[in-house]
Each structure stands twice: as C-alpha cells, then as structure tokens.
C-alpha cells in the first residue's frame, strides 16, 4: 500500500529536473546590449559579427560577449556607458547596412545558449522600454476600399463601352450614366464585381448609388486592424527590436510595447508613417478624364498625372536602400506578379514617355480653433521622381530623387508593408530600466515573503508532512518559471501578482489532504490506510476547487487585455503545476518516506 511503481517515481524526478533546466536561464539576469539586424532582413553572418566587434575594439571598447541570436547580432557590455558609446559607433559606421537598437540581453553562459535555453521575457513594466498607443482611422479604411470599388467600376464600365462618370463621396459611390437604357447592364456589371454591395437607383433615373453593407464595413475595419498589426510587427522587426508586443485594444486601437528599448527617437516616425507609393503615367496632353496636377518634392516639378494607378505600395514585396552607379541614393523595388504584369504592359506600350512615382502620406497636425488645440488629419501627395521609360521592365526597378535618410526610411516602410489605414499616436510613455528593476525587486520580495510565510506555517502546523508540502511548493515555483520560459510568455507586474496568489493557493490541496488524513486517524484508521484515504477522498474536492478557478482564469484570458491577460496566464500555469506537485509530487515523496512499511504513527 502507498507505493508508486518505480517508473512513476522516475517520471516525477525527470519532470523536476527538466523544470530546473528550463528555469535555469532566469538566474543569470540581464546586461546592457546592442542588437544589430540586417537592413534587408537577411541573417547576420559570423563574419559581420567579427567586423562589428573589431570596430568596437579599435575604439577602445571590449564587449563582454558577442553572438548571433535569431539571425541578429547581440553584443553585450558591462556598463550602460559602453553600450551607448558602442551604439553610436556602430550607427555611424554601419547605418546604411544594419538597424542598430539599444536593448537588454540575458547574461547567459555560452553552454546555456548552445542548449537553446532562454529566460522568460519580462514585460514593459519590469524591463523598461517604450509604450505607444495608436488609433486606427477606421473611416479612411472604409474610404480606401470604396476608392478601390470606384476604380474597378470605372474600368469595367469602360470595357463594356458604357458612357459613364463615377464619383465617390461620404462612402457612397454614384455611377452617372449617359443613357438610361444602360442602367440594367451597369447594375449587372456592378453586382458582378461584388454581389454583397447595396445598389440603389438615383433620383434622376439614370444613375446608381452603391454602398457597402454594415457587415462589409465591419469586416473592412477588422481587416484594417489586423493588417496594421501585421505591418507594425514587420516594421518593428526591421528596426531590430527583440520581443515586441503588438496587440489590439478595444475597437480601433493598437498597443505597441517594446521592452528593453532605450532609444525611441525614430520609433514614432516608423510606427505611425502611412507612407506608400503609386506609379502613374504623366498625362502629357493634360485633358484625360480624372487627371490632376500633383506637386513635386524638392527639385521635382509639378506634373499632371493620369488617374490610372500602374502599381501601388501594397503590391511591393521587397524594397531595399541602395545607391545608383552615379552615387545617388535609391530604393530598389520588387513588385508582386499582378503589379509586375501591369508594369510590363505599361512600359511596353509607353517607351519614351514619362512615369512618376507619387509619394502618399497621412499625418496628424495640431491646429488652434476657438482657443482649443484640435487634431487635423492631413493627406500629403508629392511626386518624388519622374523618369522617362527607356526600356521594357516588369517587377524590378529603382526609385531615385530622395536623400539617403528618406530613401532608407522609405525602404523600411515599403519592405514592412503598407498600413491598411492611417494610425495616429494617442499616448506614448518611456519607462526607464531602473524603474523596471525596482518593480522586479519589489515583486520578487513579495514572492519571497509570501513563500516564507507559507513555509513556516506548514512546517509548524503539519510538521514533516508540512515540510513535504514545502518541497512541492518550491517545485511549483520552478515549474511556473520553466513553463513561462518555455512558451515565451511575458512576465508583468500582474503576472507576479498571479504567482503570489498561486503560492498561497498551491498549499490548499495539501491542506485538504492532510486534514483528511487527520480525520481518518481520529476515526481509528491505520496510518497507511489514513494516508491512502486522505489522498483518494480529497481528490474530488481539490479538482472541483481548481477547475472552477481555472475556468475563471480562462475567461480572464479570453476577454481581458494587457495586464489582465498577464495575471490570467500565470494563474492558469500556477493552477496546473500546483495540482501536479500537490497531488502527484507530494504523494511520491510520502510514498517513498512512509510507504511499504509498518508505521505506528504519522507526523501530521
């Protein structure tokens, strides 16, 4: 009685040792570091890493460690002063080739890194960094889709040789027809483009009004949020920042958290930039329908551009900063198949004619109205380059006419993808690493106090059985840290609160078991039978209590945001690990100590 098979005891030991191994990286702490990522998204090579280190050593700075992690170079230092000095040196020398970010890196020994082990990531409130809250312009997201419909209807009606004029205002497209007899055919053409659109008759009897359904509008807005989140993640990756957090908040907002980032100077410009490009032919006659004049940037002259867009920013699959043979800064562009086919057809039919690159950007400005500062959304459209088509090309070409800084920023934005709708900064906070360390110290102090208080109580009240429960409690903390490290979850202040709560709850199961054992002994049961009954009869109560708490944690995780999710994650992990350590772990130790032999009494 009260003996586990050997394989089960070995399994418990193996799980404990595995937990210790995965939790081990967390004891080494972090160090100031510089992280470098290739500007084109390629992995950093060992040769490049050696060049970085030699450049720093020639400047009198010897890194503590230098290695490649996830295709990025990580160079650690002993002091913040060396980190900042090295960051400036590397930016000056390698700014055109790499993106340099000041961050914090785990101070792991080489053998731990070689095993592929990593510590759990720390949230912004613990590690310090940058917090930005962005608002997505939902109306523009819908307007952009309506403009797409407008161009599509215009092209389809023109192909059908129906005389018409298409206008879009306030998210309603009006299709004006020259002949009333064409109404039915025009309606069928529009319905064929998208059967879900709401098509109505105009007041004059020979026009149609087209609008999106509420479901389509909601779908478009959700798409804008998801697409913007993807684009923002890509942009952060281009900056070389590790462990970014980009998540939706509410209906129309996105939170960007960059733990460990200490130099947010260029961050806002990269995150909120809605820059994209359109390639259009110059209307040399100046009388084509839909043509309009656009201003030029810098030395570029204003031009009258045709309405038809040959290719746009959302069809760019790759972009990189480079220089032309003449030494001019340029952006090399690669289009997708659809954009490439249109570019091929356009250049084949228009050799010797000019084509312009139109730069489009949304931004938010502060204006004074009635003594109050209000936000105004401004759309900028400028021609950054006009060149004569000298030959036929398809999906690879270069754009010039920019400064090196403008070209490099544009390459990052295009490579990361265009935003589906403009975003505007609502809030920004920078948390210093000293505040983060203070939060860490206070959080772990709370864990230590709670842990020690529970240990003392269990040892005094339940004696040797209490000490066994304390071993399980310590193992539970190891498992929580190991799981957080393994799954890559971020530990935040609410997460620490969840761990502290778990420390108190983790002994609940053992309290139920031990009290049940006492009751069995009072009723006259032999010690071995009392132990067996205590674990068996308390199991249902333990399961009920933990399952209901687990359900609450799952609900918090599903519907909560930010800090609530952090609390829910650690609470869920703590519940699962505490059930294992309290039921299986302590039973294994009790069986090894008391099982398989006669005992006169048990110290409980």
Can you give the CATH number for the domain in which 480 is found?
A: 1.20.1640.10
**Which of 178, 200, 217 is where one domain is finished?**
217
Instruction: Note whether residue 255 is domain-resident.
Output: no
Last residue of a domain, one of 202, 217, 232: 217
Is 268 among the domain residues?
no
> Exposed e or buried b for every residue in 64-100, given b needs 16+ CB within 10 A?
ebbbbeeebbbbbbeeeebbbbbbebbbebbeeebbb
- Residue 260's pLDDT is 64
Cα distance between residue 29 and residue 122, in whole Å? 11
d(CA 171, CA 336): 29
pLDDT of residue 433: 58
Is 294 found in the same domain as 389?
Answer: yes
Give the DSSP H or E segment for 102. strand 98-106
The sign one gets for the Cα dihedral 463, 465, 471, 475 is: negative
Please state the domain count of the chain: 4
Distance of CA 339 to the CA centre of its chain: 28
Is the overall model pTM greater than 0.85, yes or no?
no
Q: Burial code of 139-175, b = ≥16 C-beta within 10 A, e = fewer?
A: bbbbbbbbeebbeebbebbeeeebebebebeeeebeb
pLDDT (average), residues 194-201: 90
Looking at the fold, whether 518 and 490 belong to one and the same domain comes out as yes
Of 94-98, 107-111, 285-289, the range with the lowest mean pLDDT is 94-98
- What is the DSSP track for 148-164? HHHHHHHHHHHHTT--E
Query: Using 50, 70 and 90 to split pLDDT, how confident is the model at 462?
Result: confident
Asked, for residue 123, whether it belongs to a domain, the answer is no
Split at pLDDT 50, 70, 90, the class of 266 is low
Higher-confidence residue of 201 and 268: namely 201
600 part of a folded domain: no
Share of the chain above pLDDT 70, in %: 91
Specify which of 92-96, 138-142, 184-188, 511-515 reaches the highest per-range mean pLDDT: 184-188
- Give 178-181's long-range contacts (Cβ < 8 A, gap of 24+): 178/206, 179/206, 180/205, 180/206
The domain of 368 spans: 275-418
Q: Residue 190: its pLDDT value, please? A: 92
Please tell me whether residues 411 and 450 are part of one structural domain. Answer: no
Find the CATH number of the domain harbouring 377: 3.30.1360.200
Tell me the average pLDDT of the chain. Answer: 83
- Identify whether residues 36 and 18 lie together within a single domain: no
Residue 47 lies in a domain: yes
296 found inside a domain: yes
475 and 507 in a common domain: yes
CA angle 214, 217, 221 (to 5 degrees): 140
Position 264 scores a pLDDT of 56
Whether residue 15 sits in one domain with residue 46 = no
pLDDT band at 269 (very low <50, low <70, confident <90, very high): low
Judge whether 259 lies within some domain.
no
Would residue 304 count as lying in a domain?
A: yes
97: helix, strand or coil: coil
If asked whether residues 328 and 473 sit together in one domain, one would say no
The domain boundary, picked from 217, 236, 254, lies at: 217
Residues 47-99: pLDDT tens digits?
989 989 998 988 888 899 999 987 888 999 988 888 888 888 888 888 667 77
Question: Which region among 180-184, 386-390, 594-598 has the lowest average model confidence (pLDDT)?
Answer: 594-598
Cβ pair 459, 510 in contact under 8 A: no
Q: What is the pLDDT of residue 504?
A: 72
Q: Are residues 474 and 582 in the same domain?
A: yes
Same domain membership, residue 471 and residue 350: no
Of residues 353, 345, 368, the one with CA closest to residue 284 = 353
Under 8 Å between Cβ of 549 and 439: no
When pLDDT is cut at 50, 70 and 90, the band that residue 349 belongs to is very high
- Which CATH number does the domain housing residue 71 bear? 3.30.70.1510
50 and 85 both lie in a single domain: yes
Are 571 and 530 contained in the same domain? yes
Element housing 280 (H / E): strand 276-281
pLDDT tier at 208 (50, 70, 90 boundaries)?
A: very high
Q: Are residues 326 and 190 in the same domain?
A: no
- If one compares 471 and 413, the residue with the highest pLDDT of the two is 471
Q: In the structure encoding, which two tokens stand for residue 122, read together?
A: 């720390």
Give the CATH number, domain containing residue 184.
3.30.1240
């Amino acid at each position: 009685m009260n003996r586990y098979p050997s394989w089960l005891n070995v399994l418990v030991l193996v799980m404990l040792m595995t937990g210790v191994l995965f939790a081990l990286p967390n004891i080494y702490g972090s160090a100031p570091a510089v992280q470098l990522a290739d500007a084109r998204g390629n992995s950093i090579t060992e040769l490049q890493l050696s060049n970085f280190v030699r450049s720093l050593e020639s400047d009198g700075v010897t890194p503590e460690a230098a290695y490649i992690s996830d295709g990025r170079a990580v160079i650690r230092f002993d002091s913040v002063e060396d980190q900042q000095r090295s960051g400036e040196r590397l930016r000056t020398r390698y700014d055109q080739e790499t993106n340099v970010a000041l961050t914090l890196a785990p101070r792991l020994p080489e053998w731990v890194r070689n095993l592929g082990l990593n510590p759990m990531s720390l949230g912004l409130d613990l590690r310090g960094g940058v917090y930005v809250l962005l608002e997505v312009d939902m109306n523009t997201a819908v307007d952009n889709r309506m403009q797409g419909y407008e161009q599509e209807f215009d092209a389809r009606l023109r192909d059908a040789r129906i005389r018409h004029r298409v206008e879009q205002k306030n998210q309603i497209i009006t299709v004006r027809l020259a002949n009333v007899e064409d109404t039915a055919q025009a309606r069928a053409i529009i319905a064929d483009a998208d059967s879900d659109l709401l098509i109505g008759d105009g007041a004059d009897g020979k026009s149609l009004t087209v609008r999106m359904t509420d479901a389509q509008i909601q779908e478009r807005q959700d798409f804008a949020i998801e697409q913007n989140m993807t684009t923002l993640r890509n942009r952060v990756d281009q900056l070389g920042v590790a462990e970014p957090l980009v998540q939706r908040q509410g209906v129309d907002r996105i939170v960007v958290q960059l733990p460990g980032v200490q130099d947010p100077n260029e961050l806002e410009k990269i995150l909120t930039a809605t820059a994209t490009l359109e390639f259009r032919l110059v209307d040399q006659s100046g009388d084509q329908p839909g043509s309009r004049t656009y201003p030029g940037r810098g030395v570029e002259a204003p031009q009258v551009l045709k309405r038809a867009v040959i290719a746009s920013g959302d069809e760019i699959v790759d972009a990189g900063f480079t220089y032309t043979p003449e030494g001019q800064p340029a952006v090399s562009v690669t289009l997708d198949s659809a954009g490439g086919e249109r570019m091929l057809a356009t250049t084949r039919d228009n050799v010797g004619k000019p084509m312009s690159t139109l730069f489009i950007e949304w931004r938010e400005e502060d204006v004074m109205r009635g003594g109050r500062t209000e936000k105004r959304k401004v759309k900028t459209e400028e021609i950054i380059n006009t060149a004569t088509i000298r030959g036929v090309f398809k999906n690879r070409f270069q754009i010039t006419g920019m400064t090196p800084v403008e070209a490099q920023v544009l390459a990052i934005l295009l490579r990361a993808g265009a935003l589906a709708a403009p975003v505007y900064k609502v809030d920004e906070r920078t948390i210093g690493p000293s505040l983060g360390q203070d939060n860490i110290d206070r959080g772990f102090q709370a864990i230590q106090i709670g842990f020690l208080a529970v240990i003392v109580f269990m040892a005094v009240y339940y004696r040797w059985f209490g000490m066994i429960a304390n071993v399980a409690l310590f193992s539970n903390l190891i498992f929580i840290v190991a799981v957080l490290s393994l799954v890559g979850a971020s530990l935040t202040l609410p997460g620490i609160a969840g761990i502290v709560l778990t420390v108190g709850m983790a002994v609940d199961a053992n309290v139920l078991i031990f009290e049940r054992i006492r009751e069995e002994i009072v009723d006259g049961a032999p010690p071995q039978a009392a132990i067996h009954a205590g674990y068996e009869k308390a199991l249902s109560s333990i399961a009920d209590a933990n399952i209901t708490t687990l359900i609450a944690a799952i609900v918090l995780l599903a519907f909560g945001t930010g800090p609530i999710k952090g609390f829910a994650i650690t609470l869920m992990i703590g519940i699962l690990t505490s059930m294992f350590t309290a039921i299986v772990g302590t039973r294994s130790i009790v069986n090894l100590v008391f099982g398989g032999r006669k005992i006169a009494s048990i110290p409980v």
